[in-house]
Structure 1
Amino acid sequence: MPPTAASVFHRRRPAYLLATAAAALMVTGAMTTGTPAAHASGAPAAPATRLAAGEQPPDSFWGDTSSIPEAKNVLTVKILNKTNGKYPDDQVYWTFNNETHSIAEQPYLDMPANSAGRMYFHLGAPDGKYSDFIEFTVGDDVFNGNTTRVDAFAVKLAMRLHAHDGYDVQVGEDYQTFQEDRAATFQKFRDEVPTEFKALADDDTRIPAPGSHPDFRAGGKYANYLSDYAKSVGIDAPTSDITGCAGVLAAEPGKCSALNRHVAGLPEADWSKPELYYKDAPANYYAKFWHDHSINNLAYGFPYDDYAGQSSFVSHGDPQWLEVAVGW
């Protein structure tokens, strides 16, 4: 299977071509939430009970979408403060194209067409220690983008894309994660991952991907965590290359994803069956955690996590607006 548009983007290579958007739509169609177009007005939903892991936020979480101004460019981006009172609107910032504003100052961005773009979000101050991003390529009449945990988790993010034809989809951290305090999320990570991965949460500013942590790099105590497993299926690669889909795996989305998900020893037809993923060690339990706590269990936990449609990548033509929720 060749690298998809989204995975090429995550490999930090040239941005994916907009001509591939139609193919990407086939991959991401399974991610559509099925939210009826009638709900796009953002009318308050019935009081929501505490949702289970993997469930999307209710419409009330996203606010009054009917008041989002029409874009003069491609689509309007609205940034939402979902820090549960930790930071006021004048301490939640966004940066795009070398322009930085707080939500209090400017909650909207009229997004123009752009290639390989990123929008950053900062808590406390524009140069504060809590900062994260979404990434996208926006064409004249199409949005392609995603949340990402390929490098690290730093700030809770979710986004909701709505198009003029009624298409409506949510991706990112799930509602349960947004409802809890940051400290609870970090503790949940330590509780749910095996011993080898617990130290990733030692720094309260971010949880890095394993390939970026010294424990999993050359000379680290878990440098060979995935190496022997890879060798058992004929692949010679260090753990950091496996979790980062680098080196000999740079052009092998199927093999890299199979190693991270611990299905590489199964028939190749089984590599595309999510019900088989992460059943045994060794595996990329950092990625598993973000899948377990993301909307519809879709996340970018490693560069080729879009293999078998498991990533948070979304693509749709004639976009109307994108809401981005920034949490604590």
Structure 2
Amino acid sequence: MRNPTKTAVATVAALLVPLTTGLAAIAYADAPDGPSSSPSATPSEASAEGFPLHIKGGGEYYITIVGQQTSGHYSYVKADGSIVAVTQQPPEGMSFPMNQVRNGNIPLPSHLEGARIFVSKKPMVMPAAAVGGQPSDTGYVQPDLNNPSDPNQGNIYDFFEYTFDRGRVAFGGDTTQVDGFSLPIAAELKQDSSGYDRKVGIAGRKAAALIDQYRRQVAGTPFASLVNADGTHITAPRSASTFQWGGAGSTYFYLAVKKAWEQWTGDGSFKLADGDSVYTGGTGGPGTPLKFKKEVNGQKVASGSVQMPSSSDVAACANTLATGSDTEKFIEAQLCAAFNRGVAQNQTDTWGDTSKYYQQAPFNNYAAFFHDVSYDRHAYGFAYDDVHDQSSVMILPNSDTPTSLTLTIGT
């Protein structure tokens, strides 16, 4: 895993939008119960210290931009750059058509965290969360395509996510397939003052052709069932019933996990180095926890354990692989990345060798596909794809304003 600066750590943390599952997915910020009366309840103009968002190839699409300007309170950005609380959205919602955008440029504010830029064929239906029976800007209802009655069913959409607070949190953003795929989006981030210029995502491709290619590449695996009936959306493994208990892929990673747990039987059988830190330990065999200690320059500084994950835990990077102390979460991320990439059976000092990724089954065929079709083979195909710097995240080297962000939308 890369060793990010403190600014980068703050950026990555701010990118995370907690979701609940159920009939609706709601993005909530940490906030007191009850309706909000925060400063974000009043429309405001975008700051002159913000930056332009350029949209290319999106003439027939709608844009929806939602994030937090005030911690714990969600607002949306209008086509002219003005910012309004999600509770004040009109009946037609927060989306605007591209024909309302001047020259394809949208002014973005100097501060917006946990933000998502949705691109969709039709307006998105994402009302404010309800708290105590009243609309609240502490959250907003996001699409849940696993729910047949979700009002966004049939609306082809995708999104770019980012966070930025000028002078405090460096811009960090990414294209992502962690939740699924419907539209190819390429992103280019520039900052002239630092010379930063990077492109990520999927460029020059049509969605239908990509989904057809995906079908061919994953044929004969449980990942083939992730394409919806009309061939317009691919659900990510972590969100699909296929990889949950009772699904056709619910045991897909089981033998790989079992083999690794057998391989690491006995204290000292597991050893993972990360800079000056060395993690050493072992299991008692399948079904037992992996217990380890962390040493820095030969001195023990922490210890922890990881329960043997289920196949579903690996597919979702969740539960046993997303719990405990920061030390335990570090090891869990490393393990989940290794299992998804099909390298857990290799020596841990080779887990960063990208030439070995997605070569030995079982591995995450969904993630492998999106790495194949993305710029520089960097993609967010699963939640811990940033381990060994393989994700599509772009983080500026400072918290100054970007020069521009350009999104190119495929058809």
Shorter-chain TM-score category? 0.7 to 0.9
Structure (1 or 2) with the greater strand fraction: 2
Report Cα offsets for 1:22-57 as digits up to 9, x if no partner: xxxxxxxxxxxxxxxxxxxxxxxxxxxxxxxxxxxx
Which residue in 2 is equivalent to 1:167?
Answer: 196
Matched AA of 1:149: Q
Equivalent residue in structure 2 for 1:77, among 36, 49, 53: 53
Equivalent residue in structure 1 for 2:158, among 122, 128, 132: 132
Q: Given the superposition, is the C-alpha separation of residues 115 and 10 from structure 1 closer, same or farther in structure 2, using an over 3 Å criterion?
A: closer
User: Gapped runs of 5+ residues in structure 1?
Assistant: 15-70, 83-88
Which residue in 2 is equivalent to 1:226?
Answer: 253
Which residue in 2 is equivalent to 1:210?
Answer: 237
Which residue in 2 is equivalent to 1:147?
Answer: 175
Counterpart-to-counterpart distance in 1, 2:198 and 2:257:
36
Which residue in 1 is equivalent to 2:223?
Answer: 197
The higher-RCO structure (CA 8 Å, 6+ apart) is 1
Q: Is the CA contact (8 Å cut-off) linking 1:211 and 1:239 kept in structure 2? A: no
Which residue in 2 is equivalent to 1:304?
Answer: 384
Q: Given the superposition, is the C-alpha separation of residues 214 and 10 from structure 1 closer, same or farther in structure 2, using an over 3 Å criterion?
A: farther
Which residue in 1 is equivalent to 2:213?
Answer: 188
Counterpart-to-counterpart distance in 2, 1:239 and 1:174:
32
CA shift at 1:13, angstroms? 5.2
User: Gapped runs of 5+ residues in structure 2?
Assistant: 20-46, 67-74, 79-94, 126-151, 262-306, 323-328
Q: Is the CA contact (8 Å cut-off) linking 1:94 and 1:102 kept in structure 2? A: no
Matched AA of 1:190: R
> Is 2:183 aligned against 1:158?
no
CA shift at 1:102, angstroms? 1.6
Q: Is the CA contact (8 Å cut-off) linking 2:257 and 2:339 kept in structure 1? A: yes
- Higher Cα radius of gyration: 2
Which residue in 2 is equivalent to 1:50?
Answer: none
Which residue in 2 is equivalent to 1:93?
Answer: 63
Q: Is the CA contact (8 Å cut-off) linking 1:118 and 1:135 kept in structure 2? A: yes
Which residue in 2 is equivalent to 1:248?
Answer: 320
For normalisation by structure 1, the TM-score amounts to 0.73
Report Cα offsets for 1:120-154 as digits up to 9, x if no partner: 11114445611111111112053111111111012
Report Cα offsets for 1:46-78 as digits up to 9, x if no partner: xxxxxxxxxxxxxxxxxxxxxxxxx82332111
Q: Is the CA contact (8 Å cut-off) linking 2:175 and 2:392 kept in structure 1? A: yes
Report Cα offsets for 1:185-207 as digits up to 9, x if no partner: 11100111142211112332310
- Number of matched pairs: 264
Q: Given the superposition, is the C-alpha separation of residues 285 and 313 from structure 1 closer, same or farther in structure 2, using an over 3 Å criterion?
A: same
Matched AA of 2:378: L
Q: Given the superposition, is the C-alpha separation of residues 115 and 8 from structure 1 closer, same or farther in structure 2, using an over 3 Å criterion?
A: closer
Equivalent residue in structure 2 for 1:292, among 372, 375, 382: 372
Counterpart-to-counterpart distance in 1, 2:2 and 2:390:
16
Q: Given the superposition, is the C-alpha separation of residues 92 and 114 from structure 1 closer, same or farther in structure 2, using an over 3 Å criterion?
A: closer
Equivalent residue in structure 2 for 1:109, among 106, 115, 123: 106
Counterpart-to-counterpart distance in 2, 1:134 and 1:169:
15
Q: Given the superposition, is the C-alpha separation of residues 209 and 90 from structure 1 closer, same or farther in structure 2, using an over 3 Å criterion?
A: closer
For normalisation by structure 2, the TM-score amounts to 0.59
Q: Is the CA contact (8 Å cut-off) linking 2:17 and 2:114 kept in structure 1? A: no
CA shift at 1:229, angstroms? 0.9
CA RMSD of aligned residues (A): 2.6
Matched AA of 2:97: S
Question: Which segment is superposed worse, 5-14 or 297-306?
Answer: 5-14
Report Cα offsets for 1:270-293 as digits up to 9, x if no partner: 111111101111100000000000
Q: Is the CA contact (8 Å cut-off) linking 2:378 and 2:390 kept in structure 1? A: yes
